Amino acid sequence: MPSTCLLWMRRDLRLHDNPALHRARAEFDVVIPVFILDDALLHGRYASSPRAQFLFGCLRALDQELHARGCGLVLRRGAPEHELAKLAEQTGAGAVFWTSDVSPYALRRDRAVTAALQERGVRAVPNTGTYARDVSKVRKDDGEMYTVFTPYWKAWERLAARDIYGAPRAMAPLPRGLDRGELPGGVRAPGGTLGAPVCEPGEAAGREALTRWLDGPVDRYGDRHDTLAGGTSVLSPYLRWGCLSARECELRARRRGTPGADAWVRQLAWRDFYASVLLEHPENVRREFQPKFRSLSWHEDADALDAWKRGETGFPIVDAGMRQLAATGWMHNRARMVVGSFLTKDLHLDWRAGEQHFAALLLDGEPAQNNGNWQWIASTGVDPAPYFRRIFNPILQQRKFDPDGAYVRRWVPELAAVPDNRLAEPWTMTEAEQRDARCAIGLDYPAPIVDHADERKRAMDRYREASAGVA
């Protein structure tokens, strides 16, 4: 009688370089891929309609890839510990394989699943594969985890990387009569279908995008990654759902061998770094990493927060970023830094409000990256740079990283005809210029809701007081 196991797929929705799949196939005759639609994630703290839409597309694509190999994807809905134990009993599975994750919820969930399986005599077999390295093993000589990136990066480089596994050409069919389940309907992104730059979910689309990126554009990454109108890979949603292997991305980029490719590999290490930080400091999901900044007094201003979310702050680069996020479920990394600085340093609003809004819309939203980046820009996280280095002037940022206005004009069409020399500060246009640009400030486009110079001073005072222990 053939031996059977379950492959519990979560954030590893691919067949290429999937260590859990490789190990399961090496040990068992029949591998049953299963995805659990977990309401705690679909409707919990990190619920996201755009991300769920993208996920469901990835699952459909994965099912097609499995079907082409003679297998298929089984879907269940409910608590993973209940559904996996029940499915293991139904199929006679001797083990459940999965790819480990780092969030507090994932760790609690996996402990519950392990306990439920062990009660039934079923092996629980976690594997690495979500990140380019096993992030639990990138440690200092004394066993402590890193909280500063540069030494982490050096240790990450030294740590031996695992092998790459190919995709199986064929898989054993699912057991006859097994109920495969189905995806729920009715999940749509606000405003309809998501648009460019991320259009098609799934492993095949991700691999095509990776190949296009590595065939040339990556070579200019070091020079162009801050250019708002382009310059980045836009592969983060595929990495978030494991449609792409971060380890394979690293290997292929290193084979490219250009300075731009090397710079991009460093960004993969940043992704691992934030995962390592959250694994070691799970409390970061709710509070500042740096104790001295837990006393920061955050403003409460619902109108300012709403203006920021809508992209109606009167600062074009901020508004462009927020509108790109709402329309596509993605935002350029430089824009993420600018809008984050504006929320926390110009509006003095809690970084957790920004993190929550991003979590609701980002296709690539995941707790480790979202939290790490928000605490980075709020100057409350693991990176040691002083807070005054992270107060970004939105006017200067726009002039430097969108010099021809292509990004701003794309996402803030009210400003399309504003002259280049006024685009970063459209409120300085004369009445005649406003008429010529068909953009009346205060009517067609809002006036600035704050004065950056004044708010920078207030931010400096707030952070200085917190650093000195003044509540």
Name 125's bridge partners: 97
Strand 4-8 and strand 30-37: pairing? Answer: parallel
% of the chain surpassing 90 pLDDT: 89
Average pLDDT over residues 240-258: 97
348-407 confidence digits (pLDDT tens): 999 999 999 999 999 999 999 999 999 999 999 998 778 888 899 999 999 999 999 999
Residue extents of the structural domains in the chain: 4-130, 131-164+202-280, 291-467
- Contact in structure between 298 and 348 (CB atoms under 8 Å): yes
pLDDT in tens, 287-336: 999 999 999 989 999 999 999 999 999 999 999 999 999 999 999 999 99
Give the pLDDT confidence score for residue 196 in this predicted structure.
56
For the segment 429-445, what is each residue's pLDDT rounded down to a tens digit?
A: 999 999 999 999 999 99
Identify which of 197, 210, 208 has the alpha carbon closest to the alpha carbon of residue 256.
Answer: 210
Strand ranges for 279-324 from DSSP E: none
Q: How many Cα atoms sit within 13 Å of 13 on the Cβ side?
A: 29
- If pLDDT is split at 50, 70 and 90, which confidence band does 80 have? very high
Q: Which is nearest to 180 in space by CA: 251, 90, 118?
A: 90
pLDDT value at residue 46: 85
Q: Domain 291-467 adopts which CATH fold?
A: DNA Cyclobutane Dipyrimidine Photolyase, subunit A; domain 3 (1.10.579)
Write down the pLDDT at residue 190. Answer: 37
Do residues 30 and 3 touch, judged by C-beta distance below 8 A? yes
Task: Tally DSSP H helices, then E strands, for the chain.
Answer: 20, 5
In this structure, of 88-97, 219-228, 380-389, 421-430, the range with the lowest mean pLDDT score is: 380-389
Token digits for 77? 């809905």
131-164+202-280 and 4-130 share a CATH fold:
no
Q: How confident is the model at residue 197 (pLDDT cuts 50, 70, 90)?
A: low
Tell whether the model's pLDDT for residue 63 goes beyond 90: yes
The whole-number pLDDT of residue 292 equals 92
Selected from 3.40.50.2300, 1.20.200.10, 1.25.40.80, 3.90.930.12, the CATH number assigned to the domain covering 131-164+202-280 reads: 1.25.40.80
In SS3 terms, 224-291 reads as: HCCCCCCCCCCCHHHHHCCCCCHHHHHHHHHHHCCHHHHHHHHHHHHHHHHHHHHHHCHHHHCCCCCH
Q: What pLDDT is stored for residue 467 in this prediction?
A: 87
The confidence score (pLDDT) of residue 193 equals 47
Out of 3.40.1260.10, 3.30.70.580, 3.40.50.2000, 3.40.50.620, select the CATH number for domain 4-130: 3.40.50.620
Per-residue pLDDT for 105 more than 60?
Answer: yes
Please say if the pLDDT value at position 187 is more than 70. Answer: no
> Could you count the other beta carbons within 10 Å of the beta carbon of residue 379?
27
Return d(Cα 370, Cα 320) in angstroms, integer: 20
Q: CB within 8 A of 213, min separation 6: which ones? A: 233, 235
pTM for the model stands at: 0.94
Q: What is the pLDDT of residue 379?
A: 94
Encoded tokens for 322: 């927020």
Asked whether the predicted pLDDT for residue 470 surpasses 50, the reply is no
Give pLDDT, residue 385.
77
Reported confidence tier of residue 185, pLDDT bands at 50, 70, 90: low
Q: What is the mean pLDDT of residues 66-84?
A: 97
Residue 142 has pLDDT above 60, yes or no: yes
User: Stretch 129-152: mean pLDDT, rounded?
Assistant: 95
